[in-house]
């Protein structure tokens, strides 16, 4: 695989600004520090960009604070129009955004296009929600006065976004904040910052005032984030990433009693009952597991299949997996791109080996790919024993692990046997059973006979150690609004 960039790739990368975006200006980092962004499919450096310092982070927060009052006072229709224009610009540049994501993150180009469509919908959805922020007015029960309940922006917000969905995770946070009237500092992941930086250029073109959104990419995440979170002017923290990091951030945020939204780890069960339509279940499994190369918090992690259909399900899935094409995401027909780095490849290998050591069988894949990139074969492992690491840890790779159950109660128990609770998937043709699963499974979201649940109009989030708060839907904007009650006496 050649490490040379095609001309269209070079042209696109040359258009990505390399600085920090603070107060409406693209600037160098303190002392001119930079870092390299790599293509995980080849290991090649694709862009060298500014590396923000803690002082740069403070400058970004200063800019957000300075812009807060004016942005909060901006007419909702104006905020709505800017978000709508941003959505239109995303449509105009959808191929640029998709290619940029593939270059820095590795996912197949078709999936990147899907992310652009999905991420763009948050801009459109919240452009519509910006003009629908309401309160209420009415007589109190005693009849002595009028109650006024109003909503106001929470205030300056700090966003820490992950590397696996660099566009959608930015829009899912930025759009509701802007709709509500909050200003923002965004720290994109150092592994995939270019998409956010390109999107910032589109927000600028859409007419976003200076200081409303500020972008500070850095290799020193903790050093930059800690003083921002500790600053008493900050009022909101939103993070998408691992549970251990989220726990530390919540602890830091507690000192300032910040509003927090946390979308954390997942260990999603994919439960296939004996009456499931196996055609639907297999298609759902491929989507739920191998989308984004398995690198998604919503990825199905534990396939819990009724013993009567487990062998057929496993064989049918393995047959499809063996046909998947591995390679750089820009190539035609690629299904599986690279994992994000060598650590991800090593983790996938260790989890598979532990399962095999405990008696599991590998039906497809099971090995790293010898290549200049960071590839791991799409893998199916069946007869996974209880206690295997692969059933407890978030895989974050293209490995499908199958365990079995015999009764509905056992299936529910296995599905809930985790500290996580982001999403679950259930396949059954029994409508009553499906309704029982809605109540029985301890997750914030559930897909019933479907392998993808995310939608901008729906509240995204989990329970237990998978997070706090919701993103998207009617609920999403309320994460950026505070409620104020006023009593007006009759006399």
Note the pLDDT tens digit of each residue in 337-390.
999 999 999 999 999 999 999 999 999 999 999 999 999 999 999 999 999 999
User: Structure pTM?
Assistant: 0.96
Instruction: Report CA 319 to chain centroid distance, whole Å.
Output: 30
Predicted confidence (pLDDT) at residue 269 exceeds the cutoff of 70: yes
Question: Residue 3: which pLDDT band, with cuts at 50, 70 and 90?
Answer: low
Convert the pLDDT of each residue in 48-80 to its tens digit: 999 999 999 999 999 999 999 999 999 999 999
Helices within 291-369 (DSSP H only): 310-322, 342-357
In angstroms, the CA 161 to CA 140 distance is 43
Q: Which of 78, 256, 16, 243 is nearest to 157 (CA)?
A: 256
What are the structure tokens assigned to 364, written together?
Answer: 């497809």
Convert the pLDDT of each residue in 211-260 to its tens digit: 999 999 999 999 999 999 999 999 999 999 999 999 999 999 999 999 99
pLDDT for 5: 82
Residue recorded with tokens 């965004």: 186
Task: Report, as residue numbers or ranges, the catalytic residues.
Answer: 263, 297
Question: Residue 1: which pLDDT band, with cuts at 50, 70 and 90?
Answer: very low
In angstroms, the CA 305 to CA 283 distance is 15
Q: What is the mean pLDDT of residues 463-484?
A: 97
Q: What is the mean pLDDT of residues 401-411?
A: 98
Look at residue 35 and give its three-state secondary structure: strand
Question: Residue 164: which pLDDT band, with cuts at 50, 70 and 90?
Answer: very high
Q: What is the mean pLDDT of residues 266-285?
A: 98
Residue 474: CB atoms within 10 Å? 13
pLDDT for 93: 98
Residue 138 burial (C-beta neighbours within 10 Å; 0-12, 13-18, 19+): exposed
| Beta-carbon contacts of residue 317 (< 8 Å; ≥ 6 apart) | 282, 285, 286, 380, 400
User: Can you give 405-440 as a three-state secondary structure string?
Assistant: ECCHHHHHHHHHCCCEECEEEEECCCHHHHHHHHHH
């Amino acid at each position: 695989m050649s490490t040379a960039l095609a001309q269209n790739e070079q042209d696109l990368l040359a258009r990505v600004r390399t600085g920090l975006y603070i107060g409406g200006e693209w600037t160098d980092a303190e002392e001119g520090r930079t870092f390299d962004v790599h293509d995980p499919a080849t290991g090649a450096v694709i862009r060298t960009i500014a590396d923000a310092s803690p002082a740069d982070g403070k400058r970004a927060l200063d800019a957000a604070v300075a812009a807060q009052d004016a942005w909060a006072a901006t007419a909702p229709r104006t905020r709505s129009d800017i978000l709508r224009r941003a959505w239109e610009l995303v449509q105009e540049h959808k191929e640029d955004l998709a290619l940029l994501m593939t270059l820095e993150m590795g996912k197949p180009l078709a999936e990147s296009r899907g992310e652009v469509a999905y991420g763009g919908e948050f801009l459109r959805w919240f452009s519509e929600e910006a003009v629908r922020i309401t309160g209420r007015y009415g007589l109190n029960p005693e009849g002595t006065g009028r109650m006024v309940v109003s909503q106001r922006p929470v205030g300056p917000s700090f966003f820490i976004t992950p590397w696996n969905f660099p566009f959608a995770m930015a829009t899912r946070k930025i759009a509701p904040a802007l709709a509500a009237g909050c200003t923002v500092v965004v720290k994109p992941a150092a592994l995939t910052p270019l998409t956010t930086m390109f999107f910032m250029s589109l927000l600028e073109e859409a007419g976003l005032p200076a200081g409303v959104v500020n972008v500070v990419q850095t290799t020193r995440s903790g050093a930059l984030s800690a003083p921002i979170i500790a600053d008493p002017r900050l009022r909101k923290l939103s993070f998408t990433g691992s549970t251990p990091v989220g726990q530390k951030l919540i602890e830091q945020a507690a000192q300032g009693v910040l509003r927090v939204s946390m979308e954390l780890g997942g260990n999603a069960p994919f439960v296939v009952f004996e009456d499931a339509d196996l055609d639907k279940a297999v298609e759902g499994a491929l989507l739920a597991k191998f989308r984004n190369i398995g690198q998604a918090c919503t990825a199905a992690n534990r396939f819990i299949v009724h013993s009567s259909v487990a062998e057929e399900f496993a064989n049918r899935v393995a047959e499809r997996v063996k046909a998947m094409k591995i390679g750089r995401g820009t190539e035609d027909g690629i299904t599986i791109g690279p994992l994000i780095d060598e650590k991800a490849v090593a983790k996938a290998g260790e989890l598979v080996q532990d399962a095999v050591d405990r008696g599991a069988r590998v039906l497809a894949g099971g090995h790293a790919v010898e290549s200049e990139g960071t590839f791991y074969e799409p893998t199916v492992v069946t007869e996974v024993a209880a206690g295997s690491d692969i059933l407890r840890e978030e895989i974050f790779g293209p490995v499908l692990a199958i365990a079995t159950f015999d009764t509905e109660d056992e299936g529910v128990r296995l599905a809930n046997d985790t500290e996580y609770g982001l999403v679950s998937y259930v396949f059954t043709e029994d409508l009553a059973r499906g309704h029982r699963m809605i109540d029985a499974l301890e997750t914030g979201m559930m897909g019933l006979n479907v392998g993808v649940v995310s939608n901008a109009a729906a509240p995204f989030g989990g329970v237990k150690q998978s997070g706090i708060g919701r993103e998207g839907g009617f609920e999403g904007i309320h994460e950026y609004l505070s409620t104020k009650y006023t009593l007006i006496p009759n006399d």
